Amino acid sequence: MSFRNTDPADAAYVEDVSPGSGALPPRAWYASSDAASLSLNGRWRFRLSPTADAEDDSFAAPGYDCGDWAEVAVPGHWVLQGDGAFGAPVYTNHRYPLPVDPPRVPTENPTGDHLRFFDLPADWPAPAAPDAGGEGGAVLRFDGVESCARVWLNGTDLGEFKGSRLPHEFAVGHLLEPSGNVLAVRVHQWSAGSYLEDQDQWWLPGVFRDVTLLHRPAGSALDFFVHASYDHREGTGTLRVDSDVDGRVLVPGLDIDVETGQVITVPVRPWTAETPHLYDATLVTGGERVPLRIGFRTVVLEDGLIKVNGRPVLFKGVNRHEWHPEHGRALDLATMREDVLLMKRHNVNAVRTSHYPPHPAFLDLCDEYGLWVIDECDLETHGFTGQGWRDNPVDDDRWTPALLDRAARMVERDKNHPSVVVWSLGNEAGTGRGLTAMAEWIRGRDGSRLIHYEGDANCRDTDVYSRMYADHAEVDRIGRGLDGGPLGRRRLPFILCEYGHAMGNGPGGLADYQRIFEEHDRIQGGFVWEWIDHGIRDERYGFAYGGDFGEELHDGNFVCDGLLFPDRTPSPGLVEYKKVVEPVRIEGDGAGGTVRVTNTFDFADLSALAFAWSYEVDGEAVETGALDVPALAPGETADVKLPEPPVDGRGAETRWTVRAALAGDSAWAPRGHLVAWAQLPVSERPLVSVPASARPAPDGRGGITLGPGVFSARTGELTAVDGIDVVGLKLDVWRAPTDNDDGASWQPDARHGPLWRTLGLHRMRHRLEAVEPGEDALTVRTRVAPAAAEVGLRTVYRWTSDGTRLRLTVSVAPEGDWQVPLPRLGIRFGLPAGDRVRWHGGGPGEAYPDTAAASMLGRWEATVDELQTPYVRPQENGARADVRWAEIGQGAGRPALRVEGEPEFWFTARRWTSEQLDAAEHLTDLTPGDTVWVNLDHGQQGIGSQSCGPGVLPRYRLRVRPAEFSFVFSTP
């Protein structure tokens, strides 16, 4: 055993553009086989140094005394461990947190020395045979280390590597001892590799994926490639498993027992994301039996379309970064499975592994449960955009070996997954020869999949025209083939690899996109940006985001832009997406009693679904029953008759709700799980009639009474209804701007949040012009306007009563030249804190004009706290749409105030004001007061997606124009 005391200057490899040295060639990854393996995950000894060469590498020598070292968990990121003792995470979007001086990195380069001591299990095959390139012996596998590592085993320097989210293996059989093995790993936060890993996420150094010792029996395959295609015309699958050693392939379910390299064609059930049929198989070589799960499917580009098994597919996708609020990108299997289950349960059918190959076990889950995967290489050089892409590594031949290494490590690792249908070269890396070299290499190695890369508008190297955040109109033009240019000549399918920026409240406009996707064959869907908020659990902030660790450069809460909150609670955005992409279209004529059902799956029929109707009177189901829908094939439509309405709903609002739910348990959700639904109105809601029979009268205490209402005679303000105190009821136009209202700084379009603030909509003044008690009404005339502006809203509150109910009609007449839409238009008031709210209207979750697809009309109930949506950065949230009536403040012995709207209104209630919500930076800044603040809105501005993408579509903007709306107050 020799120990080489390396010169600290050897840390030069850190700044070397090469991918590294000493590692074995890449090969297919598999979770297990009958060969012995030993997980080296667990507690490792750890020492952090401020620079790459502050410490010599004597720690790697057996016998080194690490007595005073700390410990970290592997897999893990050291910056998320040690309570701040090991530095902190840094979040930047595309700015490099290092000087752009490729391939050099700052001397301040946090370096983590890791030590793991292990004995071989008693039954470890002995004696360790010589490695001879892996033939017999053992390999040490690192599934992911950020950003650069050097490895020693028992004092022998094995080599070093970069490529954080890619596996690296070393031959170690000749070095293993039965006991007392010392594995030493030195990890640098920054390296030349960091220039290739400028993804929009936290910078999180560490050994963050598994470390495993694998026995490689003599005669086992170095690598194997499963080719399993499907001929949809013949209904047959063709299988060939290539391997560098001869062996057999057994597929009991197909009676296959063939030699490796041999081609066999048999009738099979194909694999698709909707019907993920896998055949259990075994690759038997001289030294090892490797379990395989084979999915037969064929991906081609044909007629300008991406086709699988002969049919075009429509991606209903998400972009998935790996994220856990405590462990960062160190994900356990349960968390990966949770992601897959959540996707399946929300009708998501595709994942882009933005922007690096995920933990390999995630792809096993995609095979098993069925998701189309765009597997993306660990490559992004976005920070070079700041210098017009000068020095971009992808256009500099010196870096090409590193790029090819990354491409090969991805393809070799993941090539046996049926779920992977497209390889992606990377993200936002500009253009250059290196990308072309990657594409050429990939095509040569695996012609059975398509190639994607968004960053080259000419699609020189790709099979798919891909864009991010193109607006609706442009996608529609592309769909119509009106986009011209180089792509017009080469007919390529189109996808939005990113759209619907799910930052904070939103994204808005998903349903409008989906309509366009479904209208044009050429548009093959999109991938919402992104799956999960990367908030870090934190005592002080709840969930921390950029800047919360004192980073000198950061991009704030742009890292929280997912459909899941950091703890994986679905946000309203995911609920909306589920509805928008539901695989069954249910339409029809409620009054006529027919439902039209269309199967929008690409492959599956509807036999897995059971349909049911319910008949609702004023929001309450009075009867339900099964609806007999045939097991339609993909694309088929059927008209189905509804029963006779079970009750006479005259004088009430009535509707059918039709639901499609799982008829039996599936792998990803239990029987009864709701997949798709629609509501078909039968009769409309009657008007709310309140004859103005009561008269305003002085109450003798300086107030005015009108029916159940008490008003201030001086200000005309409502102070109580039936003994319930009411404070500050007045017109309200302000909402705490959402991330999408604020918009991204680069957006050329109007960014409404800042415009609203400049105009002063958050500090409106209310000028009282008259309080006019009349014969049958109390009229209060006001002008509502911001300081320093001439625009205003002349607002008249007209109160009437029938003696028991109080009706308010608000008339708003704009004055001046309003250049911006309003955030909201309605009234706001405070009530003494009460718990429960009941309403008839849209629910159960929040909705805004362009995020209302999933809002289901019905009777709902919630506490005020449950009405809040916990966006990581507080902002407008929680509105319920189309509310007919709401009863606020039930429970705790308090009477409820009932409000009916004419027309229907947006309802919001919270324990803080919009101003407090606006001022808060984290949820922990919000403390409930003893007033519940209620907004009843006639209008809300849509949400859009302008935190990165397009703004609010014109039809969802709250234009300033004359408006009139009423509310009726009473106590039930």
Catalytic site residues? 428, 498
498/887 with CB nearer ligand GAL? 498
| Per-residue b or e along 918-948, where b marks 16 or more CB atoms closer than 10 Å to that residue's CB | bebebbeebeeeebbbbbbbbbbbbbbbbbb
414/498 with CB nearer ligand GAL? 498
Please state, in angstroms and rounded to a whole number, the distance separating the CA atoms of residues 200 and 635. Answer: 38
561/741 with CB nearer ligand GAL? 561
Please state, in angstroms and rounded to a whole number, the distance separating the CA atoms of residues 389 and 384. Answer: 5
Shortest CB 743 distance to ligand GAL, Å: 13
Collapsed DSSP state (helix, strand, coil) of residue 744? coil
Report residue 664 as tokens: 């039996």
131/498 with CB nearer ligand GAL? 498
Shortest CB 504 distance to ligand GAL, Å: 12
Task: Read off the DSSP letter of residue 128.
Answer: P
Please state, in angstroms and rounded to a whole number, the distance separating the CA atoms of residues 161 and 145. Answer: 9
Residues near ligand GAL (CB under 6 A) are: 93, 199-200, 355, 427-428, 468, 498, 501, 529, 558, 561, 948
Please state, in angstroms and rounded to a whole number, the distance separating the CA atoms of residues 205 and 74. Answer: 12
Paired strand residues for 570:
564
200/274 with CB nearer ligand GAL? 200
Give the full edge-to-edge strand order of the sheet including 299-302: 299-302, 305-308, 311-312
Q: Give the E-state strand segments of 713-869 in sequence order.
A: 718-721, 724-725, 727-732, 764-773, 778-786, 792-801, 806-815, 824-832, 836-843, 856-863
Q: Are 526 and 317 in contact (CB under 8 A)?
A: yes
426/786 with CB nearer ligand GAL? 426
Paired strand residues for 640:
595
* Single-letter amino acid code for the residue at 182: V
Cis peptide before 33 (omega within 30 of 0): no
317/370 with CB nearer ligand GAL? 317
Please state, in angstroms and rounded to a whole number, the distance separating the CA atoms of residues 808 and 935. Answer: 14
Angle at 385 between CA 382 and CA 388, to 5 degrees: 150
455/845 with CB nearer ligand GAL? 455
| Per-residue b or e along 709-725, where b marks 16 or more CB atoms closer than 10 Å to that residue's CB | bbbebeebbbbebbebe
Which of 569, 635, 565 has the alpha carbon at shortest distance from 605? 635
Shortest CB 753 distance to ligand GAL, Å: 17
Shortest CB 875 distance to ligand GAL, Å: 16
Please state, in angstroms and rounded to a whole number, the distance separating the CA atoms of residues 946 and 948. Answer: 5
Sole residue written with tokens 């160190």: 330
Please state, in angstroms and rounded to a whole number, the distance separating the CA atoms of residues 301 and 278. Answer: 24
110/383 with CB nearer ligand GAL? 383
Q: Are 401 and 407 in contact (CB under 8 A)?
A: no
Residue nearest to ligand GAL (CB): 200
Task: Read off the DSSP letter of residue 354.
Answer: T
Shortest CB 552 distance to ligand GAL, Å: 20
Chain-centroid distance, C-alpha 207: 25
Shortest CB 199 distance to ligand GAL, Å: 6
Collapsed DSSP state (helix, strand, coil) of residue 45? strand
Shortest CB 92 distance to ligand GAL, Å: 10
Task: Read off the DSSP letter of residue 509.
Answer: -
Helices 360-369 and 333-345, packing angle to 10 deg: 40
Shortest CB 354 distance to ligand GAL, Å: 6
Shortest CB 501 distance to ligand GAL, Å: 6
Please state, in angstroms and rounded to a whole number, the distance separating the CA atoms of residues 40 and 38. Answer: 6
H or E segment and range at residue 675? strand 674-683
As a whole number of Å, the end-to-end CA separation of the chain is: 86
Shortest CB 566 distance to ligand GAL, Å: 15
475: left (phi over 0), alpha (psi -120 to 50) or beta: alpha
Report residue 813 as tokens: 């007449």
Shortest CB 560 distance to ligand GAL, Å: 10
409/534 with CB nearer ligand GAL? 534
Chain-centroid distance, C-alpha 405: 29
Shortest CB 561 distance to ligand GAL, Å: 5
Angle at 46 between CA 41 and CA 52, to 5 degrees: 115
Please state, in angstroms and rounded to a whole number, the distance separating the CA atoms of residues 502 and 317. Answer: 13
Please state, in angstroms and rounded to a whole number, the distance separating the CA atoms of residues 369 and 386. Answer: 41
89/821 with CB nearer ligand GAL? 89
Shortest CB 496 distance to ligand GAL, Å: 12
Please state, in angstroms and rounded to a whole number, the distance separating the CA atoms of residues 519 and 155. Answer: 63
Burial of residue 954, with CB atoms counted within 10 A of its CB: 0-12 exposed, 13-18 middle, 19 or more buried: exposed
Helices (H) and strands (E) in the chain, counts: 11, 59
